[in-house]
Amino acid sequence: MFIRQFQIDGLGHLSTLIGDEEAGLAAVVDPRRDVDIYVETARAHGLRISHAIETHLHNDYVSGGRELAAATGAEQLIGAGAGLAHEHRPMADDEVAAVGALRFRVVDTPGHTPEHVAYSVADTSRADEPLLLFTGGSLLVGAVGRTDLLGAEHARPYAEQMFHSLHDRILAHQDFVGVFPTHGAGSLCSTGIGSTLNSTIGFERRYNPLLQPAEVDTFARTLLAGQPAVPRYFARMRPTNQAGPRILGGIPDPSPIALEELRRLVTGGGIVIDLRSPGAFAAGHVPGSLSLPAGSSFGTWLGWVVDYDRPAVLILPDDDPDAWDDAIRQALRVGHESIAGHLDGGFPTWAAAGLSVESNGRLTVDELAAAVDRGGPQAPLVIDVRQASEYEAGHLDGSWHIGAGELPGRLDDLPRDRPIATICAAGYRASVAASLLDAAGFTNVSAVAGGVDAWAAQGLPLERGSQA
């Protein structure tokens, strides 16, 4: 048996290529949208991908099942309750699909979503007993998938379903059975997920804190407490996956945009997204542009704060084509298909043309501490843009908590006659938030370099608890 997991750090997404090398057949479980990595890996190992297998309708990314089927001729499988509007094979509880000697058996496990299924896998060349379990968004490493993604009104009923799915279906498997989930560390589909990519039933049975409560009420309260904020783009993913994502046929090549075309797009309502570092953005940027620095979180923030139908042009760090490939893949994974290209020559092209350049403040923690200590009307209002659980664990006294993703909806709550300083853990989200405020017309905004981590490292005081 061949098995290889693939990880997308920013989304916390895990997928698996699993195959029977003797038969030369393989399946991909919960594939990402950019499927070339599976096709190339399978080809390198002499495998043909015959199945694209899904555990549920995903809320956090665009499924690659349809794309993989188009690229390889694979049959797409998903639980019968998913109701896909494109070609697929609906799988009922206890139904079996074969990939060579590998036998995938459906295990109904509603909770994370109502149509959720897991798949037990037996390598029948050795035994009929299951060897591993693809648990999707049900049992995770050290955690359990959240049950509130389809609305707060469903959170408790789905938590009850999850409790029974875990104890009646998942934990009915032997302790040696491997656990291969779809959501890993960094996923917003739960909290407290371990950093290892897989586990076993026995280890999770013994050490997973969400498997310890023996009754539903305690389980539901524990599961639903402290879950992270849900990005705005999540609302689009489930219907997109159900209807069938557009087939890409490959990753778009870099598309350089000339300066005059960029200006035309912006005049027509487009947006400039700057992938340079927070420091470079603060020093000078295209007026009205957003700071979404390159890195593993780019796609999440793109989906969270940029309208899907708004044409976008990227400014790449150092005009790096590798940055384009990563950025466009991340955009496509969250269904953002309105990126027109990247500014040819990067930000220096804009600056060299003598066009207007904006800048925003950038404070060290020492500078912020001094400004806060001076007080008075020019003391900055500190906005902590982290998750609520991070804020409660330790924040600056007097700071407001508004998550970066919620900031566009809270602009009317903020003063325009007072300096504002945005702060997060290390600086990424603070730069995103400061650029959102700049673009909304706030004129005295600074992002705090190093964030709360640097503040604490300097021995400066932190308060605990929620905002008063």
- Whichever domain contains 438, its CATH number is 3.40.250.10
305: tokens are 């704060």
All residues at 6 or more sequence positions from 300 whose CB lies less than 8 Å from its CB, including other chains: 10, 11, 188, 231, 334
Please answer whether residues 305 and 436 qualify as being in contact, where contact means their C-beta atoms are separated by less than 8 angstroms.
Answer: yes
Tell me: do 201 and 263 sit in the same domain. Answer: no
Q: Which of 221, 243, 265 is the last residue of a domain?
A: 243
378-394: per-residue pLDDT in tens? 899 999 999 999 999 99
User: Do 304 and 442 reside in the same domain of the chain?
Assistant: no
Integer distance in angstroms from the first to the last C-alpha of the chain? Answer: 56
Residue 304 belongs to domain spanning: 256-352
297-334 tens-digit pLDDT: 999 999 999 999 899 999 999 878 789 999 999 999 99
Q: DSSP secondary structure string, 88-103?
A: -EEE-TT-EEEETTEE
pTM of this prediction exceeds 0.85:
yes
Output the six-digit token pair for 374.
């001076």
Q: What percent of the chain has pLDDT over 90?
A: 96
pLDDT in tens, 394-432: 999 999 999 999 999 999 999 999 999 999 999 999 999
Same domain? 185 vs 232? yes
Question: Does residue 311 lie within any of the structural domains?
Answer: yes
Residues 44 and 173 in one domain: yes
C-alpha 200/C-alpha 59 separation (Å) is: 25
CATH number for the domain that contains residue 202: 3.60.15.10
- Tell me, yes or no, whether 331 and 375 share the same domain: no
Final residue of a domain: which of 318, 333, 352?
A: 352
Of 324, 352, 380, the residue that ends a domain is: 352
Say how many domains are in the chain.
Answer: 3
Task: Give domain status of residue 220, yes or no.
Answer: yes
- 207 and 74 within one domain: yes
Pair of tokens at residue 153: 């009104």
The verdict on residue 465 lying in a domain is no
Q: What is the CA radius of gyration of the chain?
A: 24
Residue 160: exposure state from Cβ atoms within 10 A (0-12, 13-18, ≥19): middle
Q: How far is CA 309 from CA 306, 335, 437, in A?
A: 9, 11, 21
166 and 139 together in one domain: yes
Are 265 and 228 found together in one domain? no
Can you give the pLDDT at residue 468? 58
